[in-house]
Structure 1
Amino acid sequence: MGKDGQDEIERLCDEVASELLLPTAEFKRQMEKHGEKLASFKPLSKYFRSLEAVAVKFAGCAQDQNRAILMVTDFHSAGRRDLAISGVIPLSNWDIFVPKGLSIGKERHLADSFYKNAPFEQTMQLSLGHLQGEYLVETYPSKFQQSGKLYNKGYILLSK
């Protein structure tokens, strides 16, 4: 079996696992109850018991598809306080390339949201690689501990 066949099998396995853990009908009902905002991640992850799975399912179930969810962390910054994009979950109509590892440090307002644990939602001008221009930005900061150190992580929802 070629790589394409393996990729298709892996995608189907992910889809089945997602449906077992987060049934689409129930996820949509809960998302409708809490809203199509990153702020809904907290009650959704409590209900479904996985923040990461909620982010992926959210991308597949959201009505407004011209958005992307950026995953950010400072875990790999080697002691520097530098938040960077660790992954991107594009919704179906998102067409802007956002590379992993792109620092968001120069966008001070975004970085401060994570360091100060202060989520926000506002329209703002961004200048991050190919992300140039005005976007509706919503942040969902959180923390995690590894080897006795506290790190920042979370999500940024961008809408064109």
Structure 2
Amino acid sequence: MRCWLCCPSGKEGTFRAVDWLVELMNLYTKVVYGGSGSGKTINYVISQSSIINAYRQCIEDIESNFHIPEKTLHHAAPDIQSRLDGLRKSLRELQPHRYERGRKAPYEIVDYFQKGCAQFDRGMMWNLVNVDDEENDDGHTIDAADLAA
């Protein structure tokens, strides 16, 4: 049986799924330490993939030795306020919640409930589900009051 967990940090209780570690190494190899431009070739990525952990350890050692507060490996927290401000601005400009005569939308939302009610009123529902009235008639009729919520 193969092991599904690994412990990349070596600390107790910090096990991860092996595929998580593989994806992390892919991120480091291709994005973080992969470089850019004409030097970023498949052969380069393959040759550097075995020493990605050494790159990372060097950076952590430099941060520790020079007392750099984790600025090189950790990103700032996301600025959700700017995203909310942009969303508010778009909603104020577009006003999708207000009726505007002649406004067109690229999509049409079909009201399937109303469509089903219309088919029911025309007697088309039973034709769609192939119900034979003679075999399944139990003597009950459905009135509009039966469908009211």
**TM-score category, normalised to shorter length:** under 0.3
Structure (1 or 2) with the larger CA radius of gyration: 2
| Structure showing the higher helix proportion among its residues | 2
| Structure showing the higher strand proportion among its residues | 1
